[in-house]
Structures are given as C-alpha cells and as structure tokens.
Amino acid sequence: MRPNASPFYRTLAFRVLLPIVVFGLAFGGLLIGSVRSVVLEFVDQQATNDLRWGANSIFQIIDTNLDELQRAGKSSDPLALRHRKVTALTQIEDFARANQLAVVVHDVAARRSFDLGGELANPAGQERWFMPTQRRYTHVINFEPWRWEITVVQDNRVYVALLNRLMIGAGLATVFLVVALSVCIFYLTVRAGRPIRKIIGDLEKNRPPQYKGIAEFEYLSRSIANMMDAVQEQSQLLEMTFANIGEGLCVFDSRMRGLACNTKFFEIYALPVSMLPGDLRVSAVLKQALGVPRYLSREPSSEPICFEHARPDGRTIEVRVHAMGDARYVSTHEDITERKAAEERVRHVATHDALTNKPNRFLFQDRLHQVLKASRRTGQKGGILFIDLDRFKDVNDSLGHEVGDELLKEVAARLSATVRDADTAARFGGDEFAVLIPTVTQPEELARVAERLIESISRPLPLAGTTLQTGASIGITLFPDDGADAIELMRNADIALYEAKAAGRGQYRFFTQALNARVQERTALSSDLRGALAQNQFVVHYQPQVDLASGTIIGVEALLRWQHPQRGLISPVLFIPLAEQSGLISSIGEWVLRETCVQLRGWLDAGFHLRAAVNVSAAQIHRHDLVQVVKHAIADYNIPPESLELEITESTFLEDPTKAIKTFERLRDLGVHIALDDFGTGYSSLSYLRRLPLTNIKIDRSFINDIANRAIDASIVRNIIAMAHGLGPIRVTAEGVEEKVQYEKLLQMGCDHGQGYFFSRPATADKIGGLLSARFSVRLGRAVS
C-alpha cells in the first residue's frame, strides 16, 4: 500500500461512479415508472383487443352456425335448432378453452345459462399491477329464434403474467442498462485514471513516467506526463536549490508561523532538522530574529528588509525578508559572524599599520576630520604632533630591517604608553609617527606631551644583543589656530617637523607663521629652479685646491651658484636640496660637468695643468648614463680624463653600494679620478674605502677647524692621512683650511692637498684664471680674496 494512498471515497472513480449510480437509480426509477405506464397501457390494450377479438370470434361462431341453420332452411326446425345451438356452444367452449376465456351464454328464451370455456381462477382476487383480475364483455345476440346474452370473461392472469414479465424485463433491462453504463464509465474512469496514477507513482518513485494508456487518453496521458515531468523537474530543482542554498530559508506568514524551512535554517538556529516548519519553536526564532514585524509590508517588495540579529552564543545572523505579496514572506538567514570578523580585520588592516598595529595615516586623518568637526562645533582646541625618529635610517642600514622593525614597534608602544587613551598615536610609514591630541586647554600641554614623547623615545632600548638609543624630532601644530582643515594642519605639522629636524636632534617645534613663510619661500624657489637652467641663471665658481707641499694650485673644485634675477646669488645649501627633491639635480649636475669641462679646456689650452673636481649627487650616480655623460664630456672637450675628478659623498653610494662601486670602477677605467668628500662625518666605513676606486679623500672641515687646538682632531686627521696613504696612491685633501696654522699642521702631518679660504675663496673662472696667471702660491703669503 502506498503511504499516501487516498481513501476510495476520494478517488476519481468513486466521484464519477457515485453520481452515475445516483443518476442511474433516479433514471431507472423514472424509466421503470414510465415503462410501467407504457407497458400497462400496452398490456391493457392488448387484453382489450384480445377480449374483443375473442368476443368477435365467438359471435362469428354463432353467426356461422346460424348461417348454416338458415342455409339448410331449418331455422324453424327445433331439432336442428337445438343441434346448432349445441354445436355452437361446443365450438364456443373449444374456442374459449383454447383462448383462456370464460363464456357465459344465457339463453334468454330458455332461461338457461351455459358456462363454457376454462375455469376462471381467483375471480375475486386483488388487482395486480393495477390490472383487474377479470374483464368482461357482454353482448346480446338477438336473432330470432336465437336470443343469447353472451358474456365473455377474460381471465387477466395471463396478462398480469405478461405484465409481470414485461415489468421484470424492463426493470432488469433498466438495472442492466444502469449497471452496464456505470461499469462502462467506471471502467473508462479507471482506465483513464490508471495511466495518470501510474505517472504520479513513477514520479513519486523518481522514475521516468510511463504514459501508456488507451488511445482516448494517450494524448491526455502524454500531456500530463510531460507536465508532471516538467513540474517535478522544476519542483526538484527548487527543492534542491532550497536544500542546497548556502543560506537558511524560511517562508512564514503574517503571524510568523513557519510554512517551509530548509535544513540550513534549522542548522543556523541549532534546531532539530526533523522539526516541522509549523513548530512553535520556529515561530519563536523568527520573532526573536525579526522582532514584532510591524514593518513587514504585505505588498511584494523588490528590496528586502535586512536585519542583523545577535545570537546569545555570540554569532551574528543576517536576516533578509521579502514580502511575497500574499501575506507570506520569505526570509534568508545567514551566519555572518566570520564575514563580519573578516570585514573588521580588513577594516583594521586598512586603518592600521601592519607592523605596529597603530592607526595609519588614513585612520589618523579620519579621526582628525572627526575631531575637527567637533572642534568647529565646540571651539575646543587640539593639536597634532608629527614625530620623526632620528637616525633611524642608520639603524636600519647598519642593523637590518628586522631590528629597525622592532625599534619601530617599541617606539609605537612607547607612544601609546605616553599619550592618553583619548589621543591617537599613529604611524604614517617609515619612521614617521603622529599623535592627535583632541583636546587641550593650552598649547603648552602639547609641548609637555612632545617633551614626554622625546624623553620616552630616547630611552635606551635593548635590542638584538645591543642597546639602541634613538631620538625624535617633533613638529606640532595647533587647531583650529594653525589650519582650517586636516590637510593644512598636517602640512603645517610637517613644516614644524622639518624645522625641528633642522634644529637638530631631539627637538620639537611649533608651527609658526614664520616657519610657514620659509616654507613658502622654498616652494617659490623650487618653482623658480625649474626655469633657472634654461634661463642660464646658474654660474660655476671654482675654489682652488693647493698642493700643500709646493703651495701651488693643482686643481679647482667646481661650485655651483644660482644667480637669481630677484634674490641675487643663492647658496647651494638652499637650492641643492630643492634640486634633489625636484629631480633637477641630474640636469644641473650634467650642466656643471660640461661647464667645468669647457672651463678646464680653456685653462689647459692656456697652459695651466689643473684638475677640476665636480660634485656628483646620488641621483646622478643612479642614472645609468653617468659614465656616458662623463665620457662624452671629456671627449667633447678633449679633456684628459686624469684632469677630471668626481667628488662623491657617502650618501651617493649607501643606497646601492654595489651599483655605485661598479659605476665608479667604470669611471676610473676611463681615467677619471674619484674623490670621497666630507670624509669622517658619516660612517666612514673602511670597507667602502677598500672597495671604492678612490684617488682622493677629502677630510671634512669639522676635523680641520680645531686641528690646531684639539689633539683628537689632529690625531684623527693624522690617522686618516696615514690610512689613505696606506691604502695606496690615495691623495688626502683637507677641506676648510682657513688659517695658516691649520695649513702648517696639515703640511706637517703629510696631508697632500688643501682647500679653503686660507688659500682662496670660491671665485669665478676669470678670477681663478687670474690666480693661475699670477702663479699663485701659498708661499707668497697671501691668498686670493
């Protein structure tokens, strides 16, 4: 038995059969009634006809005998008359018996009656089928001498029997008709239903439906099969979708009663999977998730209503509800706990520095915007502190990035520990940090914060087996006084920081309008610098380099000067950083090189054998074409390579030493001399000294200043000279020789060359040419002013 078999009274067959039977019974009843009436009339008419026919036949018998009597001429013969009468009576009797009639012949004249024919059964019986048990027909034959009153009595038994047979036959025929009709229709119904039931059964068993049926229902069966197939496929698809969709689904009505739920729904709310959608617990979950659904519209909506529902177990469920328009709703339920965590992580990553886990520039700016908004509303003051670590680059370069990173993390921790919770300590990248102080009452509070920060950062830090000590420079800007918006404030803080850094390590500076003016000036210079080369505003001055032993000029150092049309001569200290920042340094450097080569060519042609030194910036070193530029320059102006010296500083090769060394080696191969400028101020790594193809070391002027008075400086200089000479044919040039005693000291120490005001200030080429022509010598006791 099929689990979902319908009771018989709900089957199509029964629904068809019952009306048929009811109709059949009613129809049969009416038919029998009608048939009874017709049959009764028919039988009655038949009986009447038979009776009349019988009577007429009897009269005919009598007539025949009368005729015979008269034909024989014996109608008055009593004997013949009696004979004829008896003959007639016997004939009537025979006829009556044969035709089941009873005949009473009453001889009126003789006053005698003769009962002829069969005996009448049950003459006083009840009517049957509304038929009388007898019917009589009486007629008087009145022919003299014959006067008979004849009563023909018909026994209706035979007609009642006939009526019985007809009625039974009609009843049976009607019953048979109804039954046959019912059976036929029932059969057809069953036959019609069979393929449909089979199709449904097949579909329920997930089998391809077979629709074989009788021809009349073939098309119907096929159509139903196809339709059911499509419906089932669609249904299965929907079912599978419903079951396999990654979200919980629940269809419910306006009373929050669940109508259909998928497995995922039960899993999300930790309900038994076997629970029916209509369970009260489903309603409870829905009410808990959606609250009182006053806002649920009955109209179908294209946009869902979304909720985030926090579960007691800490999970977050996102619920979306669509109204289907018939007071029913479909809701999707998604556990977004992990997604929210991921979003939070992304948001955190986007707003925080990965290394220190401190807010980054983006978050800092965002918070600054918020604070500024509040400030504009409340008039509350606050401040921004930009912090830059001192010598962090050195730590990074010398101890590695890992150590640098640890240092940064420690600095960040110290920043956080120093400021208030309401403050924001952020890292912008590299060694740049910033602190946002949302509320201060006096600017001095910011100064105290800056001091605490510098002090905190400056505390020694044991790291990587050593103790690091760094410092910090801090630029401070105050809002709303120093700027209207975040960008301006941050720029001003940067300016202040720059100023602090310029002031030396471990300093902090407030942004001032004076600071701002300087920045504005730098900006203007930077703008003018771009046109300076084209407008031929640069000039090259030369400072002689003197052989200390002979006192003669053996070379010059080319020094760039900017002859600004409005500002006059501008110091390289001012514009070289600008050139470096703007990328113009390469073009300017090449121009200086070629200008120097032109000048050197002139001096060589004039018979002065000099070596011209040109400063090379790091930007030039890292250009691939420096060698080519030099090569072309010396070729273009026919400059002996050994007459050209390129001065480099440590900073030019620290960024990429390998590449720089390779470039210098190629320049040396050209025959060009390489001088290391400002030696002693940086790391002065001996390793580099070993690797670099140097021909000259220029001792920084800071060692020369007190060489006569400080023994240590003298010792350093002496050792440098000894080291240089020990490394090979490397000349030593002392920079910043301004006094005779220095000159003498250096000479005594064995220093090869000197450069400084003591010998000559930087001067134009013409002036230098004059000195050369005058055969300048230190021994003349005068210097070129």
Partner 1 sequence: MGIESVSRRARLWAVAFAALCGLLPLSMALAGFGVPPIRIGVSLGLTGTHAEVARLQQCAYQLWESQVNERGGILGHPVQMVIRDDQSQPQVAAQIYQEFIETAKLDFVFGPYTSPITAAVAPIADKNGYPMLAAGAAADDIWKHGYQNVFGMWVPAGRYTIGFLELLSAAGIERVAIVTVDDIFSVSVAEGAKRWAPAYDLHVVDYRVLPKKNPDMVAAAKAARDSRAQALLLGGLLDESIAMRRALKQIGWTPAAFYASVGPTLEKYRNTLGADANGTFSTSIWEPKENLRLPGSSEFLRAYLGRYHELPSYHAASAFAAGQILEQAIIKAGGTDRSAVRHALATMDAESIIGRYAVDRTGVQIKRFPLIVQWHDDQREIVWPPELETASPVIRK
Site of interaction with partner 1 (CB under 8 A): 79, 82-83, 85-86, 89-90, 94, 97-100, 110, 112, 114, 118-119
Question: Which pair of structure tokens corresponds to residue 220?
Answer: 């119907």
Q: Which is nearer to partner 1, 100 or 702 (CB)?
A: 100
> Shortest approach of partner 1 to residue 137 CB, angstroms?
21
Q: Which is nearer to partner 1, 122 or 297 (CB)?
A: 122
Local structure of 615: helix, strand or coil = strand
Residue 145, preceding peptide bond in cis (omega within 30° of 0):
yes
Residue closer to partner 1 by CB (options 106, 311) is 106
CB of 128 to partner 1, least distance (A): 19
Question: Strand pairing partners for 253?
Answer: 328
Q: Quick one: DSSP state of residue 474?
A: E
Q: How far apart are CA 406 and CA 392, in angstroms?
A: 12
398: which 2 tokens? 């010398």
* 91 versus 262: smaller Cβ distance to partner 1: 91
The residue among 79 and 292 lying less far from partner 1, judged by its C-beta, is: 79
137 C-beta neighbours (distance < 10 Å), count:
18
Which residues share a beta bridge with 139? Answer: 150
Q: How far is the CB of 116 from partner 1 (least distance, A)?
A: 10
Cβ distance to partner 1 smaller for residue 82 or 339: 82
**Smallest distance from the beta carbon of 98 to partner 1, in angstroms?**
4
Calpha distance 58→68 (Å, rounded): 15
Q: 152 or 437, CB closer to partner 1? A: 152
Question: How far is residue 259's CA from residue 283's CA, in Å, rounded to a whole number?
Answer: 10
Q: Work out how close the CB of 177 gets to partner 1 at its nearest, in angstroms, rounded to a whole number.
A: 32
The CA-to-CA distance between both ends of the chain, in Å, stands at 125
- What tokens appear for 603 in the block? 């001096």
683 C-beta neighbours (distance < 10 Å), count? 12
Give 59 or 114: the residue with its C-beta nearer to partner 1.
Answer: 114
* CB-based contacts of 684, cutoff 8 Å, min separation 6: 650
For partner 1, give the closer residue by CB, 96 or 714.
Answer: 96
Rounded least distance, CB 46 to partner 1, Å: 17
Q: Which is nearer to partner 1, 94 or 521 (CB)?
A: 94
| Number of C-beta neighbours around residue 686 at 10 A | 10
Which of residues 98 and 273 has its CB atom nearest to partner 1 in the complex? 98
Q: Name the minimum Å distance from CB 162 to partner 1.
A: 15
Eight-class DSSP state of 440: E
CB within 8 A of 774, min separation 6: which ones? none
Q: Classify burial at 735, counting beta carbons within 10 Å of its beta carbon; exposed 0-12, middle 13-18, buried 19 or more.
A: buried
Tell me which amino acid residue 720 is. I
* Least Å from the CB of residue 167 to partner 1: 23
**Nearest distance from residue 86's CB to partner 1, in Å?**
5
- Rounded Cα gap, residues 753 and 183, in angstroms: 136
Beta bridge partners of 433: 387, 427
Of 619, 608, 555, which is closest to residue 583 (Cα–Cα)?
A: 619
- Exposed/middle/buried for 3, CB within 10 Å: 0-12, 13-18, 19+? exposed
Question: What minimum distance in Å lies between the beta carbon of 83 and partner 1?
Answer: 6
For residues 86 and 172, which CB has a smaller minimum distance to partner 1 in the complex? 86
For residue 692, give the 3-state DSSP assignment: coil
Residue number, 77 or 706, with CB nearest to partner 1? 77
Structure tokens belonging to residue 206: 């997930």
Nearest residue (CB) to partner 1, 50 versus 455: 50
Within 8 A by CB and 6+ apart from 303, the residues are none
- Residue 262: Cβ-neighbour burial (10 angstroms; 0-12, 13-18, 19+): buried
529, 584 contact by CB (below 8 A): yes
Give the chain's radius of gyration (CA, Å): 67
Q: Is the dihedral of CA 753, 757, 763, 769 positive or negative?
A: negative
Least distance from partner 1 to the Cβ atom of residue 150, Å:
15
Count, residues in the chain: 785
Residue 442: strand, helix, or coil? coil
Is residue 497 within 8 A of residue 484, CB to CB? The reply is: no
Which residue lies nearer to partner 1 by CB, 114 or 307?
114
CB-nearer residue toward partner 1: 98 or 349: 98
CB of 79 to partner 1, least distance (A): 5
Spatial separation of the C-alpha atoms in residues 518 and 510, rounded to whole Å: 14
- The residue with tokens 């002829």 is 116
- Nearest distance in Å: CB 97, partner 1: 6
Nearest distance, CB of residue 188 and partner 1, angstroms:
42
Select 121 or 342, whichever has its Cβ closest to partner 1.
Answer: 121
446: nearest Cα among 476, 418, 484: 476
Please spell the DSSP secondary structure of 140-176, one letter per residue: EEEETTEEEEEEEEEETHHHHHHHHHHHHHHHHHHHH
510/606 Cα distance (integer angstroms): 56
> What is the maximum alpha-carbon separation in the chain?
223
CB of 111 to partner 1, least distance (A): 10
Choose between 82 and 136: whose C-beta lies nearer to partner 1: 82
Tell me the C-alpha distance between 571 and 578, whole Å: 12
Least distance from partner 1 to the Cβ atom of residue 121, Å? 11
Give the span between the Cα atoms of 363 and 436, in whole angstroms: 11
Number of C-beta neighbours around residue 580 at 10 A: 15
Rounded to a whole number of angstroms, the minimum distance from the CB of residue 85 to partner 1 is 6
**Least distance in Å: CB of 107 to partner 1?**
8
